[in-house]
Amino acid sequence: MIPPQEASARRREIEDKLKQEEETLSFIRDSLEKSDQLTKNMVSILSSFESRLMKLENSIIPVHKQTENLQRLQENVEKTLSCLDHVISYYHVASDTEKIIREGPTGRLEEYLGSLAKIQKAVEYFQDNSPDSPELNKVKLLFERGKESLESEFRSLMTRHSKVVSPVLILDLISGDDELEVQEDVVLEHLPESVLKDVVRISRWLVEYGRNQDFMNVYYQIRSSQLDRSIKGLKEHFRKSSSSSGVPYSPAIPNKRKDTPTKKPIKRPGTIRKAQNLLKQYSQHGLDGKKGGSNLIPLEGHEHDFRVKHLSEALNDKHGPLAGRDDMLDVETDAYIHCVSAFVKLAQSEYRLLVEIIPEHHQKKTFDSLIQDALDGLMLEGENIVSAARKAIIRHDFSTVLTVFPILRHLKQTKPEFDQVLQGTAASTKNKLPGLITSMETIGAKALEDFADNIKNDPDKEYNMPKDGTVHELTSNAILFLQQLLDFQETAGAMLASQVLGDTYNIPLDPRETSSSATSYSSEFSKRLLSTYICKVLGNLQLNLLSKSKVYEDPALSAIFLHNNYNYILKSLEKSELIQLVAVTQKAAERSYREHIEQQIQTYQRSWLKVTDYIAEKNLPVFQPGVKLRDKERQMIKERFKGFNDGLEELCRLQKAWAIPDTEQRDKIRQAQKNIVKETYGAFLHRYGSVPFTKNPEKYIKYRVEQVGDMIDRLFDTSA
């Protein structure tokens, strides 16, 4: 049971809460009534606003449309005015730009091109909108005048600033490739940078807007002239330098300012002056002349001989009769070789300049035209060299032909660069150098063959024979010629191979030794061809010498002559690489020459038999010691002494005037003969020197053994 007090309290609490809830409910009813009232008021306001807004919209929209139309009309008016201003400006272009066009583009190229752009737009406008208007003709005329001024400016810039490259700079450019030390790159500045920019700008405008290609002709004509003059200037530089100092010079450029060059000698390719001098004498006195030949022979061991001294002085005399023409040949050869290298370098530089100025699709054709004059000049000079060589062959002047060898070698070495430079040019241009190479190979092969034939068929015998039996000039000059080929082994071998001379020399053509081009042979095959050729020349020389030796009435002098020539050939072969080259096809050549030399020595020694036979034991009378000699025996002994004395004196007198230039061989032959004669004479003198075969022994016993030896020691010595 809940106590009454607690129940009463609980009831009061519930009543209080009920009262509060009633109050809350009453508040909510009041709030809803107010909200409904506010809603009604808001709806009334919005309805009124909507009505008013509709009235406003109906009144503003027509005004807006009218304003929009007015704005459009205003824009159209402004555009029309702008177009009118633009059109009117075309009518003023001629007057605005005429002064600028008349004064030309010099010094203000960009402004000038800007004026031309305005004129071009005016031309386009009038052509499209008013083709019959006089204004069109006026701006057209002004545009053409402006274009002509640009062309004139292009020509003027190219003419004024295109300078001939100095020989000094060209030689630096060429020698830069051959120097071992690191050098500065030699850069050719054909045009100043500012001028080059203007030229390029004009070129591009003429192509793009001027529709003109005539400036390309102007370009190649001017540059072609400069290229040609540069190469000719280099050639003239060689001539002047050689005439003043004997050797052309080129400035060295490492760590040097270009305006203060120092001189250095040019590398002289293929210098052949000494051999040319001797070979020139060979052609003048040997094959065709009738003069004595012994004064032209370089002799070993006879440096004291006046003839050799005279020859040595002549060879070293830069102003002597032997130096003039052949020095000039040497200079011309060097000049041509350097001009070929100069052409390659300058053409490369010209192409680099051309690609900046000439449009790409015109570059090859323009470059082809640009190099023609210089290239044709080189080719013509090369053909002149071939022609001169051809005439020289007819005259048997093989010194001139030798100039072909260094030139041909250089052309072949330079051909890869040539081909690269001429890449893209016409076929006729590309074929010029190969054609010249072929011509030189042909004439070189012809010269080699004719030289071999002339060695074999040299007709001079009586008038061209050395009286002292020394080395014949035919021998010395043949060896000199062959020695020159050592410097040009590949070139000479290629000459022979180019003419397919395998059949001529009985050398089988191995397919492995030839390339697909049928004109390119392996170096080994060319070497064998050259070896066979040298052996042919030596064989022809030997046959000719044998024939010439028969001119001598004295077999001993004939033997000395052959000995000297064979010994000279052998020593010359051994002192150079010729012996190795000969050995390629003739392994026993050296042994064969030694056998020939020994054979001639034996033939010579037989000349003393007529002396020693007088005192030989087999021919002496037999008598008993202490027994008085009979008159017949005494007379026989007298005859033996007299025959020996007369023979000794005669041989010494004759053979003292003979020559054996080789000191070693001369001493060897003297010693051998001295031993034989002294031994025989000593035995004879020992046996009969004390025999009373005469009352005047000094009349018959004229010489002691030592005196005989001394007399023989003076053989082959004109100064004795």
Contact criterion met (CB below 8 Å) for 495 and 501: no
- Which of 8-17, 223-232, 711-720 is modeled with the greatest confidence? 223-232
Residue pLDDT, tens place only, 268-326: 444 344 444 444 443 333 333 333 333 333 334 333 333 333 333 333 333 333 334 45
With a pLDDT cut of 90, the percent of the chain lying above it is: 44
Q: Report which of residues 458 and 365 the model is more confident about.
A: 365
pLDDT attached to residue 669: 95
Q: Is the pTM of this model over 0.85?
A: no
- Predicted confidence (pLDDT) at residue 240 exceeds the cutoff of 80: yes
Tokens 């807007």 — which residue? 209
- Predicted confidence (pLDDT) at residue 572 exceeds the cutoff of 70: yes
Residue pLDDT, tens place only, 473-484: 999 999 999 998
Contact criterion met (CB below 8 Å) for 148 and 105: no
| Among 570, 558, 398, CA closest to 485 | 398
At residue 121 the predicted structure's pLDDT band, cuts being 50, 70 and 90, is: confident
- Predicted confidence (pLDDT) at residue 61 exceeds the cutoff of 60: yes
Residue pLDDT, tens place only, 551-563: 999 999 999 999 9
Average pLDDT, the chain: 80
Contact criterion met (CB below 8 Å) for 470 and 423: no
Angstrom distance (rounded) from CA 151 to CA 113: 13
Average pLDDT over residues 232-239: 90
Angstrom distance (rounded) from CA 233 to CA 168: 10
pLDDT attached to residue 326: 54
3-state secondary structure 263-310: EEECCCCCCCHHHHHHHHHHHHHHHCCCCCCHHHCCCCCCCCCHHHHH
pLDDT attached to residue 293: 35
At residue 88 the predicted structure's pLDDT band, cuts being 50, 70 and 90, is: low
Average pLDDT over residues 56-75: 80
Residue pLDDT, tens place only, 185-215: 667 888 899 999 999 999 999 888 877 778 8
At residue 619 the predicted structure's pLDDT band, cuts being 50, 70 and 90, is: low
| Among 420, 424, 415, 418, CA closest to 367 | 424
pLDDT attached to residue 330: 76
pLDDT attached to residue 184: 54
Average pLDDT over residues 14-28: 90
Q: Report which of residues 634 and 245 the model is more confident about.
A: 634
- Which of 3-7, 16-20, 110-114, 256-260 is predicted least confidently? 256-260
Residue 652 CB neighbours (<10 A)? 17
pLDDT attached to residue 119: 86
Angstrom distance (rounded) from CA 417 to CA 6: 131
- Predicted confidence (pLDDT) at residue 91 exceeds the cutoff of 90: no
At residue 130 the predicted structure's pLDDT band, cuts being 50, 70 and 90, is: confident
User: Token pair for residue 715?
Assistant: 């053989």
* Residue 84 per-residue DSSP state: H
- Which of 139-148, 204-213, 227-236, 399-408 is predicted least confidently? 204-213
- Predicted confidence (pLDDT) at residue 267 exceeds the cutoff of 60: no
Average pLDDT over residues 320-336: 63
pLDDT attached to residue 450: 92
Angstrom distance (rounded) from CA 679 to CA 687: 12
Average pLDDT over residues 7-19: 88
Q: Which helix (H) or strand (E) holds 252?
A: strand 249-252
- Predicted confidence (pLDDT) at residue 241 exceeds the cutoff of 60: yes
With a pLDDT cut of 70, the percent of the chain lying above it is: 79
- Which of 129-133, 410-414, 569-573 is predicted least confidently? 129-133
- Predicted confidence (pLDDT) at residue 443 exceeds the cutoff of 70: yes
For residue 601, which amino acid is it? I
pLDDT attached to residue 53: 85
Q: Report which of residues 312 and 363 the model is more confident about.
A: 363
3-state secondary structure 598-630: HHHHHHHHHHHHHHHHHHCHHHCCCCCCCCCCC
Average pLDDT over residues 106-129: 85
Residue pLDDT, tens place only, 168-193: 999 988 886 544 444 456 678 888 99
Rg over CA atoms, the chain:
55
Contact criterion met (CB below 8 Å) for 401 and 443: yes
Q: Report which of residues 329 and 440 the model is more confident about.
A: 440
pLDDT attached to residue 183: 47
Residue pLDDT, tens place only, 136-171: 888 888 888 888 899 999 999 999 999 999 999 999
Q: Report which of residues 184 and 68 the model is more confident about.
A: 68
Tokens 């409910």 — which residue? 25
pLDDT attached to residue 600: 96
Angstrom distance (rounded) from CA 516 to CA 522: 12
Contact criterion met (CB below 8 Å) for 90 and 179: no
Average pLDDT over residues 598-625: 83
Average pLDDT over residues 224-236: 93
